[in-house]
Structure 1
């Protein structure tokens, strides 16, 4: 395992099947420090977690670029929730972590649930950030139709070439999710999310990784089995607005509360005034996530932070 240190932030390359997984690291290097394993979304990277890390300076944060993304984009498939869970277990083993709180954003939440099922000794509790429950899509859709329904322009972006880094920044500055929420973290995230030469820059995520993973989290068996066996305290933080800042979030409140009623270890909490991205990549969303992680790291504490839930009374889904 090789490491590169720049101030408080550093990176490490961890051997996994087929190559090495790039990991972003924040916080103390003391092996006795509390550990957060932070897992990003379907077209994202470990740079998602910078604002959360800044709010948890005493926590040892390990945030991999998942297989097929970021600086792990050279890793081949197979992809899917189980494959990513195997990689995450290898990462925790490389850092000699016996047990961690695991936070997953978007697709990272699905991976986190499967990790907890396959490696229960490694996961003490889960913080799921706008992900981890079955998608709300009509039955019978093809994989491509599911990608279009859930990801839309995010999937189209992977096939686009950009003339310069500034052109890519311009795309994101105009994105509805960030038009009113641009900040230095987002710019750093956007700059990191490019591969290739200046004459032909493209997003780092492999299209085939995104496609295979989206199909697996929608219809694969691993997620359903993991949810059915959910055995650790689990908090779902729900964004009321979606990927394009639209009023309909990834999950309706009724859908999330229905699953809360079915799963004894699941608690649902709404995070007001955030969308699918800003729940973790802007204030105050990142502050709520950090609060939830800090609460989960307290020995024998429930995953939900103190105070009343922002969720309204349960509503039966129709």
Structure 2
């Protein structure tokens, strides 16, 4: 089913990214998949997998940079945005099944794909389990494991890593402006928004796409807390997830940023972790300077590298 729309909160003024959205049946409900570039006649289709509290519209800037003849399909993963109504199971194995369902729905045998943050872990796991479905993979600031000590508090670790992205799950906001003001407490968001007016609009539309009406006329995050926790735990303690990137047999690239989710140094993937990841000979690593965990999928100089990797 194809639905034309912008995927924003009803009745709210917003900058909007107009997309074509498709409904894909998955276990537990219907997954929303956004066509951010190209169409069914495009000779090349790229599958894009977003981060843990993000949504498919996080790839709008990449979509605008794609050459002609390229289609970009970006699902809202289960438990987020327009796929928030999908019930469990949660966890990265469920995302893998959903991604394969998306490829099957569109009749795609084998595609290049990109995953950012948690999406990189989900994509690496999908490509390790289904190597025949992925032509090449691009992992952006995620996808390699940093094992968690036994007995570690996963919730505390998620809160420390995600910062405002985690805190927003239990908050409500009077309107989009209040939500944006809160997100701007994160210097990584401020830096990304400052990259230019078009990028700022892309960023804001992606952020607003997460908002849903709550009782009392306020807005809140669409993210299902149980989904976020399960997915986050998998990136920390699931041995198959932690080693998936080292099992890849197709060409791949891992990009990593110097600064993290809150603009801190070191970033999510410190240099020593990248060096010790044990990636196979088909996967190269590339440091992207002058960016943080968010701006690496918005900044021109970072997307130049991403595009080169996607098209070989």
What is the match of residue 89 of structure 1?
Answer: 100
How far apart, CA to CA, are the structure 1 residues paired with 2:247 and 2:229?
26
- How far apart, in 1, do the equivalents of 2:298 and 2:88 lie? 28
Q: 1:12 aligns with which of 22, 34, 45?
A: 22
- 2:211 partner SS: coil
Residues 137-176 of structure 1: pairs in structure 2 closer than 5 A: 137-176=148-187
Query: 8 Å contact 2:80–2:222 — kept in the other structure?
Result: yes
Question: Superposition pairs for residues 130-279 of structure 1, below 5 Å?
Answer: 130-135=141-146, 137-182=148-193, 183-197=200-214, 199-224=217-242, 226-259=244-277, 261-279=278-296
Structure of greater relative contact order (alpha carbons < 8 Å, 6+ residues apart): 2
**Cα RMSD between the aligned structures?**
2.0
Cα distance change, pair 194–246 in 1 and its aligned pair in 2 (3 A):
same
Secondary structure of the corresponding residue to residue 93 of structure 1: helix
2:49 alignment partner, one of 29, 33, 39: 39
- Is residue 304 of structure 2 the alignment partner of residue 287 of structure 1? yes
Alpha-carbon distance between aligned partners in 2 of 1:243 and 1:15, rounded to the nearest angstrom: 32
* CA distance in structure 2 between the aligned counterparts of 1:2 and 1:27, rounded to whole angstroms: 15
Partner of 2:73: 62
Q: Distance in 2 between matches of 1:282 and 1:70?
A: 24
Moved more, 50-59 or 106-115: 50-59
CA distance in 2, matches of 1:151, 1:228: 25
Q: Which moved more, 1:158-167 or 1:217-226?
A: 217-226
What CA distance in whole angstroms lies between the structure 2 residues aligned with 1:28 and 1:17? Answer: 27
CA distance in 2, matches of 1:284, 1:141: 37
Partner SS state of residue 173, structure 2? coil
Q: Give the Cα separation in 2 of the matches to 1:189 and 1:119.
A: 29
Comparing 142-151 and 202-211, the one that deviates more: 142-151
- The CA deviation at 1:285 is 2.5
State the Cα deviation string for residues 185-215 of structure 1 (Å, max 9, x = none).
Answer: 1111122110124722111111111001111
Q: Structure 1 residues 206 and 150 mapped into 2: Cα distance closer, same or farther (>3 Å)?
A: same
Query: Following the alignment from structure 1 to structure 2, what is the Cα–Cα distance between the partners of residues 139 and 173?
Result: 34
Shift of 1:148: 2.6
Change beyond 3 A, Cα 1:148–1:57: same
Residue 5 of structure 1: how far off its partner (Å): 6.2
Structure 1: distance between partners of 2:303 and 2:143:
18
Which is further off, 46-55 or 173-182? 173-182
Structure 1 runs not aligned, ≥5 long: 296-318
Greater displacement, 236-245 / 214-223: 214-223
Contact 1:39 1:104 in 2 (8 A): yes
Deviation at 1:237, TM superposition (A): 0.5
Deviates more, 1:138-147 or 1:43-52: 138-147
Could you state the TM-score of these two structures normalised by the residue count of structure 2? 0.88
In structure 2, the CA distance between the partners of 1:221 and 1:254, relative to structure 1 (3 Å rule), is closer
